[in-house]
C-alpha cells in the first residue's frame, strides 16, 4: 500500500472522535493490558491529521539555515517551534540554560615531512544542493577538542579502539608523543581521542575513510547519497560516557547562576587537540606514512597501501577555540492531563543542528511537531488526555545532549516523581522500525508496531522489522527466529536525548525511528540538507508520517491507560539473556586466555610469525578466574516470581489500588539505579544499560559487570555482580510490596 492509499483509506473515517473515544474508554477496565489504552477510533482520527507533505514542509522550513546551538538562527528555530506549539493549542514556553560551547578560532593541519600538504578543511558548495553555499556554517571541527599546537610523526591507529592499541603493542609500536590518525567508525568518535590520549598521543586526527563512508559504499554526493571526497563529519568529542551535558555543571541544571566547576576540573574534557577531516585531506597524509603495512582488517578503501608508521610522515596540527557560554533554548509544550495531571508523558527531539540538519534532527522533530499538531486537533474536537503530555524540542544535543541533560538534572526530583516515560526520536529515515528502550515497555511497542502500516510494503512495521531482523541473522539464528514471534526492543546506549532520563534518573525511556534504507554520507556535514533528505533519506516523507503514527500511538496509549502497560516479566526475561551473555563472556575469556597461553608456551605464535616482520615476544598471562554469578541468577529468579504474581493480580482493581499500582509501575525502574553509579562514572546509575566506556554510543548491558570483565578487572567484576544483584533485589522487594497491597 502506498502513501496515497493510506491517506485515502483514512479519509473514510469522519470526525467521530468524541463518541468513539468515549466508547473506547467505557470499555476499558482496570486490567493489565499490554497495549495500554488502545483506542482504534481515536488513533484513526489522529492518523487523519498527519500529513507527509506537511512534514516535508516543516523539514524544509526548519532546515533552511544553519542553526547550531548559540546561533541567531538557532534561536529563530526555537521561536518558530514555540509559535508552532502554541498555534496547535499547546501551552508552550522556552526554558533557557547557559552552557559552555567551544567553536573554532583557528584550524591548521599540514603535512610537514617528507613533503608538504596543507589540508583544505572545507566542504565546497554544490549547485545541486541549494543550502550548501550559505553563510554562517560552522567550520569542520570536533567540539571539545583541546586547544593545541603540536607537530609530530603520524601513526595510523585504525579505528582507534583499545584493541587497535593492543595490536600496536604486539607490533612494538608506541604512539607516545605522536599524532594519531584514526578512521571514523566502530565506536563513537569521542572514544578515539580519549584512547589516543590514554596512550600518550599528543594529537588526534579523525577522517572518513571511503570504505565506511564514501565511494566504497555507493555513488557519492551529489550523484548519489554517499560522502564525497570533501565531506567531513563534525561532532562532539566530549567524553560523554563519563557524563554528558554542560561539562561545568555535572549533576545540576546549568541555570544562569548555577555553581560551575572550572574547565580544568571537568572530567569529560580532553587534553589533546582533535580534528575531523575528509578523505581528500587524509589521503596525502596516509600515503606518506611508512613502517609496517597495516593488517588486512585495518585497510580502508583509499587507493594506497596503508602503513602504520611511525616513519616519514610528520604533521603539524594547530587548533584554538572560542570557549564561550551560550544560551540553550529548550522549547517545552504542555497539555495538562484531565485525570492524572501529575503523571507526565514526555516526548522529545532536539532542534539544534551542526549545520542545516534536515535529517539530523529536523526529520524527527518534524514528526514530533506533526504529532503535536494532530493531538491539538483531537483536543479541539473534545479529546482530553488523562495524563499530562509534554512535547519538548531540545537545544544543544549535538555538542553532547546539553539541553536535555540540563533540563533533566534541573528538574530531577520532579521528574522522578512524575515522569511516566520519556519518548525520544532524532533523525529519521526510510526502512525498518528501530526501537530501543526500557524492556518493561516491550509489549506496548510490539502492539503499536502491529497497528502501523509500513508505507512501502503495506504490511505492519512489526512484520517488516521482523523480516529485516531474520534476513540479517546468521543461518542458525534465522531458523530459530522463524519459529518465534517476538519483538526485539533494543537496549539504549547513548547518542541522543534519552540519556539523562534513562541512565541518570531511571525514568522509563524509549527511542523510536526508522532507517536501514536511507544510508548516505551527509551526517553532520553541510550536505545534510533538504535537497539531500528529500532525494535520499525519505522521499515523500512517508516515514516521517510513520514515526508520528508510532510515537503518537505510544503517547496516546500511555496517556489514557487505566493500568500503565509496563510488564516487568519482559524486563526480567531480557535481564536473563544479559546474564547468560556475561556468564558466557567469562567462559570465553577463560578459554581465550588459556588458548593464548598454550600457543605461547608451545611457541606457535612465534614460529608462525614471519621472521622478517616485527614480532614482540609475549609472556603467558595468569589464567582467568571463573566468577560466581549465582547470586545474580538467584535474584532474577526471585524477580521472576514476583513479576508473575504482579501480573496475575492486576485485574479488577479499584481506582485507589490502580493508582497505587500505576505509580509503582512507572517508578519501578528507579530501583535499578546504583546509588554510587558505575565505576569511574557515577553520573551513570542504571545497572542494566549504559553507553560503553570504550564504545560510546554503543550500549553495554549489565555495564558494570561486562566492562570489568572486558577490561580484565576480576575484582571489580565480582563487586559489580554484588552491586547489580542488590538492585535486582531492591526492584523485587519494591514490586513485592506493591503486589502485597493489591
Site residues (CB under 8 A) for a second copy, limited to 445-474: 456-457, 459, 463-464, 466-468, 470-472
Question: Any idea what DSSP says for residue 262?
Answer: -
Find, among 72, 211, 202, 103, the residue nearest to 148 by Cα: 202
Minimal distance in Å, beta carbon 381 to a second copy? 35
Residue recorded with cell 548516505: 520
362 neighbors 205 (Cβ within 8 angstroms): no
415 neighbors 460 (Cβ within 8 angstroms): no
CB nearer to a second copy: pick between 284 and 468: 468
Residue of 327, 431, 506, 703 interacting with a second copy (CB under 8 A): 431
477 near a second copy, rule: CB under 8 A: no
Minimal distance in Å, beta carbon 714 to a second copy? 21
CB nearer to a second copy: pick between 84 and 465: 465
Minimal distance in Å, beta carbon 537 to a second copy? 12
612 near a second copy, rule: CB under 8 A: yes
Minimal distance in Å, beta carbon 612 to a second copy? 7
Can you tell me the distance from the alpha carbon of 498 to that of 659, in angstroms, rounded to the nearest whole number? 26
Residue of 603, 622, 656, 715 interacting with a second copy (CB under 8 A): 603
Minimal distance in Å, beta carbon 536 to a second copy? 10
Find, among 197, 205, 215, the residue nearest to 309 by Cα: 205
Minimal distance in Å, beta carbon 586 to a second copy? 16
Residue of 42, 146, 220, 232 interacting with a second copy (CB under 8 A): 220
User: Among the candidate windows 214-222, 254-262, 391-399, 556-564, which touches a second copy by CB under 8 A?
Assistant: 214-222
CB nearer to a second copy: pick between 264 and 471: 471
User: Among the candidate windows 345-353, 521-529, 587-595, 693-701, which touches a second copy by CB under 8 A?
Assistant: 587-595
The string over 697-712, giving b where at least 16 C-beta atoms fall within 10 Å of a residue's C-beta and e elsewhere, is bbbbbbbbbbbbbbee
β 274-277/203-207 pair status: parallel
622 near a second copy, rule: CB under 8 A: no
Task: Tell me, letter by letter, the H, E, C secondary structure of 149-217.
Answer: EEEEEEEECCCCCHHHHHHHHHCCCCCCCCEEEEECECECCCHHHHHHHHCCCCEEEEECCHHHHCCCC
Find, among 215, 162, 154, the residue nearest to 181 by Cα: 154
Residue recorded with cell 526475561: 573
Can you tell me the distance from the alpha carbon of 175 to that of 190, in angstroms, rounded to the nearest whole number? 18
Minimal distance in Å, beta carbon 593 to a second copy? 12
User: Among the candidate windows 215-223, 377-385, 526-534, 560-568, which touches a second copy by CB under 8 A?
Assistant: 215-223
β 387-394/235-236 pair status: unpaired
313 near a second copy, rule: CB under 8 A: no
Minimal distance in Å, beta carbon 550 to a second copy? 18
Residue of 31, 116, 592, 616 interacting with a second copy (CB under 8 A): 592
Minimal distance in Å, beta carbon 619 to a second copy? 18
616 near a second copy, rule: CB under 8 A: no
Minimal distance in Å, beta carbon 11 to a second copy? 24
- Three cell numbers, residue 342: 501529575
523 near a second copy, rule: CB under 8 A: no
CB nearer to a second copy: pick between 546 and 738: 546
User: Among the candidate windows 67-75, 208-216, 392-400, 523-531, which touches a second copy by CB under 8 A?
Assistant: 208-216
CB nearer to a second copy: pick between 83 and 592: 592
Minimal distance in Å, beta carbon 527 to a second copy? 17
- Three cell numbers, residue 472: 540479517
5 near a second copy, rule: CB under 8 A: no
> According to DSSP H, which parts of 254-363 are helical?
279-288
DSSP E strand boundaries for 425-465: 431-437
65 neighbors 137 (Cβ within 8 angstroms): no
Can you tell me the distance from the alpha carbon of 167 to that of 298, in angstroms, rounded to the nearest whole number? 10
117 near a second copy, rule: CB under 8 A: no
Residue of 76, 150, 599, 638 interacting with a second copy (CB under 8 A): 599
Q: Torsions phi, psi of 457, nearest 5?
A: -115, -15
CB nearer to a second copy: pick between 294 and 328: 294
305 near a second copy, rule: CB under 8 A: yes
Can you tell me the distance from the alpha carbon of 342 to that of 246, in angstroms, rounded to the nearest whole number? 28
Can you tell me the distance from the alpha carbon of 595 to that of 590, in angstroms, rounded to the nearest whole number? 9
Can you tell me the distance from the alpha carbon of 442 to that of 482, in angstroms, rounded to the nearest whole number? 19
Residue of 611, 619, 622, 715 interacting with a second copy (CB under 8 A): 611
- Three cell numbers, residue 446: 510490539
User: Kind and range of the H or E element at 236?
Assistant: strand 235-236
120 near a second copy, rule: CB under 8 A: no
CB nearer to a second copy: pick between 20 and 597: 597
> According to DSSP H, which parts of 301-401 are helical?
364-380
215 near a second copy, rule: CB under 8 A: yes
582 neighbors 660 (Cβ within 8 angstroms): no
145 neighbors 270 (Cβ within 8 angstroms): yes
607 near a second copy, rule: CB under 8 A: yes
Question: How far from each other are the two terminal CA atoms of the chain, in whole angstroms?
Answer: 46
β 142-143/235-236 pair status: parallel
CB nearer to a second copy: pick between 27 and 476: 476
434 near a second copy, rule: CB under 8 A: no
What does the angle CA 389 – CA 387 – CA 28 come to, to the nearest 5 degrees? 130
What does the angle CA 407 – CA 379 – CA 75 come to, to the nearest 5 degrees? 35
Question: How far are the Cα atoms of 449, 683, 704, 708 from residue 676, in angstroms, in the given order?
Answer: 37, 8, 11, 16
Binding mask 234-273 for a second copy (x = CB under 8 A): ----------------------------------------
Residue of 413, 610, 619, 622 interacting with a second copy (CB under 8 A): 610
Residue of 73, 325, 605, 670 interacting with a second copy (CB under 8 A): 605
617 near a second copy, rule: CB under 8 A: no
Residue of 256, 608, 619, 656 interacting with a second copy (CB under 8 A): 608
CB nearer to a second copy: pick between 473 and 647: 473
CB nearer to a second copy: pick between 76 and 301: 301
Q: What residues make contact with a second copy under the rule CB under 8 A?
A: 210, 215-220, 224, 226, 293, 299, 301-305, 431, 456-457, 459, 463-464, 466-468, 470-472, 475, 478-479, 482, 517, 591-592, 595, 598-599, 602-608, 610-612
Amino acid at each position: 500500500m502506498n502513501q496515497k492509499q493510506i491517506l485515502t483509506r483514512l479519509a473514510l473515517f469522519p470526525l467521530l472522535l468524541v463518541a468513539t473515544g468515549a466508547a473506547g474508554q467505557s470499555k476499558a477496565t482496570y486490567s493489565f493490558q499490554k497495549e495500554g489504552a488502545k483506542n482504534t477510533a481515536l488513533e484513526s482520527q489522529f492518523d487523519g491529521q498527519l500529513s507527509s507533505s506537511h512534514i516535508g514542509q516543516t523539514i524544509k522550513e526548519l532546515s533552511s539555515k544553519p542553526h547550531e546551538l548559540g546561533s541567531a538562527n538557532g534561536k529563530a528555530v526555537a521561536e518558530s517551534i514555540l509559535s508552532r506549539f502554541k498555534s496547535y493549542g499547546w501551552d508552550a514556553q522556552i526554558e533557557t540554560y547557559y552552557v559552555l560551547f567551544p567553536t573554532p578560532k583557528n584550524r591548521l593541519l599540514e603535512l610537514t615531512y617528507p613533503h608538504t600538504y596543507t589540508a583544505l578543511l572545507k566542504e565546497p558548495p554544490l549547485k545541486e544542493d541549494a543550502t550548501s553555499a550559505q553563510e554562517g556554517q560552522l567550520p569542520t571541527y570536533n567540539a571539545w577538542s583541546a586547544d593545541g599546537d603540536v607537530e609530530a610523526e603520524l601513526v595510523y591507529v585504525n579505528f582507534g579502539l583499545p584493541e587497535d592499541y593492543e595490536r600496536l603493542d604486539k607490533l612494538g609500536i608506541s604512539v607516545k608523543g605522536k599524532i594519531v590518525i584514526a578512521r571514523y567508525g566502530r565506536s563513537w568518535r569521542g572514544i578515539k581521542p580519549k584512547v589516543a590520549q590514554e596512550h600518550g598521543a599528543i594529537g588526534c586526527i579523525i577522517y572518513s575513510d571511503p570504505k565506511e563512508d564514501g565511494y566504497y559504499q555507493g555513488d557519492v554526493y551529489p550523484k548519489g547519497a554517499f560522502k564525497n571526497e570533501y565531506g567531513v563529519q563534525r561532532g562532539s568529542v566530549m567524553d560523554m560516557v563519563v557524563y554528558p551535558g554542560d561539562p561545568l555543571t555535572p549533576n545540576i541544571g546549568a541555570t544562569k547562576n548555577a555553581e560551575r566547576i572550572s574547565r580544568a576540573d571537568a572530567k569529560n574534557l580532553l587534553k589533546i587537540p582533535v580534528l575531523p577531516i575528509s578523505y581528500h585531506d587524509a589521503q596525502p597524509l596516509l600515503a606518506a606514512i611508512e613502517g609496517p603495512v597495516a593488517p588486512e582488517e585495518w585497510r580502508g578503501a583509499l587507493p594506497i597501501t596503508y602503513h602504520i608508521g611511525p616513519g616519514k610522515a610528520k604533521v603539524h596540527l594547530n587548533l584554538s577555540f572560542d570557549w564561550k557560554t551560550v544560551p540553550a533554548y529548550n522549547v517545552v509544550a504542555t497539555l495538562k492531563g484531565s485525570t492524572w495531571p501529575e503523571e507526565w508523558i514526555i516526548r522529545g527531539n532536539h532542534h539544534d543542528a551542526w549545520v542545516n540538519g534536515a535529517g539530523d534532527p529536523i526529520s524527527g522533530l518534524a514528526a514530533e511537531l506533526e504529532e503535536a499538531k494532530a493531538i491539538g486537533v483531537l483536543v479541539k474536537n473534545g479529546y482530553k488526555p488523562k495524563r499530562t503530555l509534554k512535547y519538548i524540542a531540545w537545544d544543544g544535543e549535538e555538542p553532547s545532549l546539553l539541553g536535555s541533560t540540563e533540563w533533566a538534572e534541573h528538574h530531577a526530583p520532579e521528574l522522578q516523581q512524575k515522569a511516566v516515560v520519556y519518548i525520544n526520536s532524532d533523525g529519521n529515515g526510510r526502512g525498518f522500525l528501530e526501537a530501543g528502550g526500557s524492556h518493561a515497555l516491550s509489549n506496548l511497542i510490539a502492539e503499536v508496531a502491529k497497528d502501523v502500516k509500513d508505507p512501502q510494503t503495506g504490511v505492519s512495521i512489526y512484520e517488516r522489522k521482523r523480516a529485516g531482523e531474520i534476513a540479517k541473522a546468521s543461518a542458525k539464528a534465522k531458523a530459530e527466529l522463524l519459529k518465534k514471534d517476538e519483538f526485539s526492543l533494543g537496549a539504549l546506549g547513548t547518542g541522543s536525548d534519552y540519556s539523562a532520563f534513562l541512565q541518570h534518573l531511571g525514568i522509563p525511556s524509549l527511542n523510536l525511528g526508522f532507517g536501514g534504507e536511507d544510508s548516505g554520507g551527509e551526517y553532520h556535514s553541510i550536505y545534510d540538507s533538504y535537497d539531500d533528505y528529500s532525494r535520499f533519506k525519505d522521499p515523500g516523507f512517508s516515514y516521517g508520517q510513520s514515526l508520528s503514527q508510532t510515537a503518537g500511538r505510544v503517547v496516546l496509549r500511555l496517556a489514557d491507560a487505566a493500568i500503565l502497560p509496563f510488564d516487568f516479566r519482559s524486563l526480567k526475561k531480557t535481564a536473563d539473556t544479559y546474564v547468560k551473555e556475561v556468564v558466557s563472556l567469562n567462559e570465553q575469556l577463560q578459554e581465550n586466555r588459556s588458548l593464548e597461553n598454550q600457543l605461547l608456551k608451545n611457541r606457535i605464535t612465534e614460529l608462525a610469525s614471519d621472521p622478517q616482520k616485527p614480532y614482540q615476544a609475549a609472556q603467558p598471562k595468569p589464567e582467568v578466574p571463573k566468577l560466581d554469578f549465582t547470586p545474580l541468577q538467584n535474584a532474577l529468579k526471585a524477580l521472576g516470581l514476583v513479576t508473575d504474581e504482579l501480573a496475575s493480580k492486576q485485574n479488577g482493581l479499584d481506582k485507589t489500588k490502580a493508582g497505587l499500582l500505576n505509580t509503582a509501575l512507572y517508578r519501578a525502574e528507579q530501583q535499578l539505579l546504583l546509588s554510587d553509579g558505575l565505576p569511574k562514572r557515577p553520573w551513570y546509575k542504571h545497572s542494566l544499560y549504559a553507553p560503553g566506556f570504550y564504545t560510546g554510543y554503543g550500549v553495554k548491558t549489565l555495564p558494570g559487570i561486562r566492562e570489568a570483565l572486558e577490561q580484565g578487572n576480576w575484582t571489580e567484576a565480582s563487586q559489580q555482580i554484588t552491586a547489580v544483584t542488590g538492585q535486582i533485589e531492591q526492584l523485587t522487594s519494591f514490586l513485592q510490596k506493591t503486589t502485597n497491597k493489591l
